[in-house]
């Protein structure tokens, strides 16, 4: 359903090259020369909230726009990739025109960050930081790496899925990574960390001590790599992830709980080829207990809609997305926290799909009914009860 990695890379490289050449050719002659490089590392995965710059992370973008810096965006998935690079040269023959150009450059970067999507399962954050640094190495002046990520790396040299690793001594962990040669050379670089410890279902939430521990781990790693300055931005990431994103193996968290509730066509009935409830009162009765759970602080959920193999895949995905959104909206009306839920649609392309066509290609309704559902994955701490 998604654009393949090679195709996506070709598209982004072509777009970035066109942008850099165009901006460089049209820059004003009287302003200061461009200086500095800022690289943004974005998680953009299913287990963390959507990226949103705030505080020092936002300040880094504003400085890059003002300084006309070289900017790059790196996606931190299992095989980190460079989404694109651009020189933020302000176009125009006068101050007004260049101000408008700077505003447009800023919007371009923000749009790139919010639309970034991981391609591969898992996340190798150390490799992503290394790629980010190399992507701006040609820029003169100050170099800054802004990491917008939960920090829960699950691949590469730092795999926090290993039992006990999340609770290990941060300085000792950083020293071991440095000795093994796994750290990037961050000498003279400023690193801003935003979103460390911020999670979304199916990843269980971290409590405050666990978030502090994880921030200490990454601070120790960045310092051991030689960074000139490390800033942990406290502003949280709170918005649910958007779109269908690769699955990331959850990192085990003490006292975490998970529940999976499958809403079949018998539980929540929709009109044919529609996201309209056939019996809204019955749906309210089924969803009310879920809404109470999702009204509890620290509990989040992913609602995944699926369909039978009827019609083209685009229509299936749209219908399953609409039905998941309908359930999400009704849960919110019943008291669930809107921002604690994300809704996605997969159509008939999902791992548990039951073959619903016979040898002649005719629909087997009994099997098709098993594919029409909305699966609710809840995660939380002690406040979550299953059953």
Sign of dihedral through CA atoms 133, 117, 195, 216? Answer: negative
In a domain, 386, yes or no: no
Domain count, the chain: 2
CB 81 within 8 A of CB 208: no
Mean pLDDT of 182-197: 97
Tell me, yes or no, whether 275 and 216 share the same domain: no
In a domain, 188, yes or no: yes
CB 147 within 8 A of CB 130: no
Q: 3-state class of 364 per DSSP? A: coil
CA distance linking residue 67 with residue 88, whole number of Å: 8
Tell me, yes or no, whether 212 and 311 share the same domain: no
In a domain, 243, yes or no: no
Q: What is the pLDDT of residue 15?
A: 42
**pLDDT (tens digit per residue) in 368-385:** 999 999 999 998 876 787
Tell me, yes or no, whether 195 and 262 share the same domain: no
User: Regarding beta strands 300-306 and 373-380, do their DSSP bridges make them parallel or antiparallel, or are they unpaired?
Assistant: antiparallel
Tell me, yes or no, whether 24 and 114 share the same domain: yes
Which of 198-202, 236-240, 249-253, 380-384 shows the lowest mean pLDDT across its residues? 380-384
In a domain, 240, yes or no: no
Tell me, yes or no, whether 212 and 270 share the same domain: no
Tell me, yes or no, whether 203 and 341 share the same domain: no
On the 0-12 / 13-18 / 19+ scale of CB atoms within 10 A, 61 is buried
**pLDDT (tens digit per residue) in 334-356:** 999 888 898 999 999 998 999 99
Tell me, yes or no, whether 216 and 273 share the same domain: no
Closest CA to 62 of 116, 113, 105, 121: 105
**pLDDT (tens digit per residue) in 73-110:** 999 999 999 999 999 999 998 989 999 999 999 999 99
Average pLDDT across the chain, whole number: 89
> Phi and psi dihedrals of 185, rounded to 5?
-90, 100
Tell me, yes or no, whether 228 and 261 share the same domain: no
* Confidence bin at 30 (pLDDT 50/70/90): low
CA angle, residues 346, 200, 46, in degrees to nearest 5: 40
CA distance linking residue 185 with residue 143, whole number of Å: 12
Tell me, yes or no, whether 78 and 119 share the same domain: yes
Which of 173, 201, 233 marks a domain boundary?
233
Residue 336 belongs to what domain range? 257-380
Segments of the chain assigned E as strands:
37-42, 70-75, 81-87, 143-148, 154-155, 158-159, 190-194, 229-233, 257-264, 300-306, 341-347, 373-380
Backbone dihedral region for residue 9 (phi beyond 0: left; psi -120 to 50: alpha; all else: beta): alpha
CB 119 within 8 A of CB 246: yes
CB 195 within 8 A of CB 113: no
Which of 199, 233, 267 marks a domain boundary?
233
Tell me, yes or no, whether 311 and 224 share the same domain: no
* Beta pairing partners, 232: 193
CATH of the domain at 271: 3.30.1330.60
On the question of pLDDT at 25 being above 50, the answer is: no
Which of 183, 198, 233 marks a domain boundary?
233
Segments of 3-46 assigned E as strands:
37-42
Which one-letter DSSP state was computed for residue 166?
G
In a domain, 229, yes or no: yes
CA distance linking residue 75 with residue 124, whole number of Å: 10
Contacts of 219 (CB under 8 A, 6+ apart): 170, 193, 230, 232
Q: 3-state class of 185 per DSSP? A: coil
Tell me, yes or no, whether 193 and 293 share the same domain: no
**pLDDT (tens digit per residue) in 119-171:** 888 999 999 999 999 999 999 999 999 999 999 999 999 999 999 898 999 99
Predicted TM-score (pTM) of this structure: 0.80
CA distance linking residue 129 with residue 123, whole number of Å: 11
In a domain, 245, yes or no: no
CA distance linking residue 206 with residue 199, whole number of Å: 7
CA distance linking residue 217 with residue 183, whole number of Å: 13
Tell me, yes or no, whether 263 and 128 share the same domain: no
Q: What is the DSSP string of 271-289?
A: -TTS--BS-HHHHHHHHHH
**Which tokens go with 359?**
């040898």
In a domain, 279, yes or no: yes
CATH of the domain at 162: 3.40.50
Q: What is the pLDDT of residue 247?
A: 75
In a domain, 307, yes or no: yes
């Amino acid at each position: 359903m998604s654009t393949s990695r090679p195709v996506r890379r070709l598209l982004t490289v072509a777009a970035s090259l066109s942008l850099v050449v165009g901006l460089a050719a049209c820059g004003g002659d009287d302003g200061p020369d461009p200086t500095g490089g800022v690289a943004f590392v974005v998680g953009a995965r299913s287990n963390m909230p959507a990226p949103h710059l705030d505080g020092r992370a936002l300040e880094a973008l504003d400085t890059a726009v003002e300084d006309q810096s070289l900017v790059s965006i790196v996606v931190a998935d299992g095989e980190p990739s460079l989404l694109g690079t651009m020189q933020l040269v302000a176009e125009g023959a006068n101050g007004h025109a260049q101000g408008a150009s700077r505003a447009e450059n800023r919007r371009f970067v923000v749009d790139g960050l919010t639309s970034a999507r991981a391609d591969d399962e898992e996340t190798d954050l150390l490799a992503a930081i290394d790629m980010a640094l190399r992507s701006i190495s040609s820029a003169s002046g100050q170099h800054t790496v802004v990491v917008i990520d939960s920090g829960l790396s699950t691949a590469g040299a730092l795999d926090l899925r290993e039992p006990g690793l999340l609770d290990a001594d941060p300085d000792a962990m950083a020293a071991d990574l440095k000795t093994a040669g796994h750290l990037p050379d961050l000498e003279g670089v400023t690193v801003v960390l935003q979103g460390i410890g911020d999670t979304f279902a199916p990843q269980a939430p971290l409590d405050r001590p666990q978030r502090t521990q994880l921030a200490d781990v990454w601070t120790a790693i960045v310092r051991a790599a030689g960074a000139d300055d490390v800033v942990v931005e406290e502003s949280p990431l709170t918005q649910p992830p958007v779109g269908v994103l690769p699955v990331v193996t959850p990192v085990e968290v003490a006292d975490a709980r998970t529940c999976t509730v499958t809403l079949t066509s018998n539980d929540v009935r929709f009109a044919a080829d529609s996201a309209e409830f056939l019996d809204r009162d019955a749906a309210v009765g089924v969803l009310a207990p879920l809404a109470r759970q999702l009204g509890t602080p620290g509990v989040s959920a992913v609602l995944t809609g699926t369909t039978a193999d009827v019609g083209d895949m685009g229509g299936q995905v749209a219908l399953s997305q609409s039905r998941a959104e309908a359930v999400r909206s009704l849960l919110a009306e019943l008291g669930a926290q809107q921002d604690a839920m994300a809704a996605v649609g997969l159509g008939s392309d999902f791992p548990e799909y039951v073959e619903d066509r016979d040898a002649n290609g005719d629909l087997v309704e009994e099997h098709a009914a098993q594919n029409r559902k909305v699966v609710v994955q809840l995660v939380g701490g002690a406040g979550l009860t299953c059953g």
